[in-house]
A and B are shown apart, each in its own frame.
Chain A
Amino acid sequence: MIDPAVGAMLTGAFALLFVSAALDKLRSLQGFAEVFRAYRLLPDGVARLSWLVPALELTVGVGLLARRSRAGAGAAGAALLVAYAAAIAINLQRGHRDLACGCGGPHARRPIAAWMAWRNLLLAGLLATMLLPWIARPMAAADAVTIGAGTAVAALLYMSLDRLLAQVTPRTAPLRGSR
């Protein structure tokens, strides 16, 4: 059982995450198809269906917002995140460190990294809480502030962490040795 304010905050944050990820991919479907093929996990025939990924993400993002589809969308989203983590882990295992991750828009050519797999697993764990029922209690105006501001802060912190880990840390690493 989780508090409805916490639940709504999580729901909002994950809906934002999935919808923005889907829109990033939809902006350049062709670019994403290339990235999808580069992962080399599915035969080329299946890779033609790569547009299903953003479609699925969009469905999850929207599905989270409705009460009846929340649990289903949460489970699907968690499965999707675990699948991404597995895809990244398998390619890292193969030694493909210069593979574009396919996240963060068509022009962000950032390579896959181990922290992305861990991040996805963590997110999947958080998303699994969508399967829990919410406590029934009357909602007050303060809850609206908690949900709205909490979602915004979560999104901003996610963006900061993402940038920090993807753009700043890899570049700082070589500087550390040369003191």
Chain B
Amino acid sequence: MTALAVSNVVLWILVLLLSVVVLALVRQLGVLHERIAPAGALMLNRGPPVGEPAPVLEVADLEGHAHRVGAARADGRSTLLLFVSPTCPVCKSLLPAVKSSGKDERAWMDVILASDGDTLEQRQFVRSQGLDGIPYVVSAALGLAYQVGRLPFAALLDEHGILRARGLVNSREHLESLFEAKRLGVASLQEYFSGAL
């Protein structure tokens, strides 16, 4: 009977270890899939073409500062235009990534948030999400110019006012794919892959 009891305990220990190994393996598989999967901002086939001058628009942010979005900039900085809305849940989850990306890339890029609708609601949104440092533009014309259909939508303009990348961004990875697109000089992931093959 002792032999049986000992074998039982040993077996339990081995089964436990095995379960831990299986869990670790599955986690590794998940990580692996995340790494190998291509991720990029979804580019929709409408709106201003990438690689050409972006529409120039004069807009004012909530603080009252004027911005000439799309114009060539003398200081050589690029602009990330991000279209958000207080009613879009994905936007809220993306905002921390926008803030930290804005900080990481501040050497060469400014962030402008753009929205459309009731100003009071927008102010509340800015306050609740802690967006005080970032220019927040409320303009329907801007959204129309870029033909924004779905949110959150981002457009990256370089120092000459050329549209470098644009697309639907749902995650930090998508957002960073826009920076990568500018760095590599390709408009989209599709173009990158067709060039690589």
Contacts and interface: CB of A to CB of B under 8 A. Distances in A.
- Chains A and B are bound partners: yes
Interface of A: 34, 142, 145-146, 149-150, 152-153, 156-157, 159-160, 163-164, 167-168, 171-172
Chain B: number of interface residues, binned into ranges: 10 to 19
B89 A34 contact: yes
B20 interface: yes
Q: Is the interface of B mostly helix, strand, loop or mixed?
A: helix
A171 B19 contact: no
Contacts of A142: 5, 8
Nearest to A34: B89
A149 B14 CA distance: 10
Interface in B2-28: 5, 8-9, 12-13, 15-16, 19-20, 22-23, 26-27
Nearest to A166: B30
9 contacts: A145-B12, A149-B15, A153-B15, A153-B19, A159-B23, A163-B26, A163-B27, A167-B30, A168-B30
B33 interface: yes
A84 to B, nearest CB: 21
A113 to B, nearest CB: 16
B33 A157 contact: no
Q: Is the interface of A mostly helix, strand, loop or mixed?
A: helix
Nearest to A155: B19
A160 B26 contact: yes
A94 B26 CA distance: 31
Contacts of B184: none
Contacts of B26: 160, 163-164, 168
A156 B19 contact: yes
Given A163-B26, A167-B33, A145 B15 contact: no
Nearest to A161: B26
Given A142-B5, A145-B9, A160-B22, A152 B16 contact: yes
Contacts of B13: 149
Contacts of A157: 19, 22
B176 to A, nearest CB: 18
Contacts of B37: 171
A145 B16 CA distance: 12
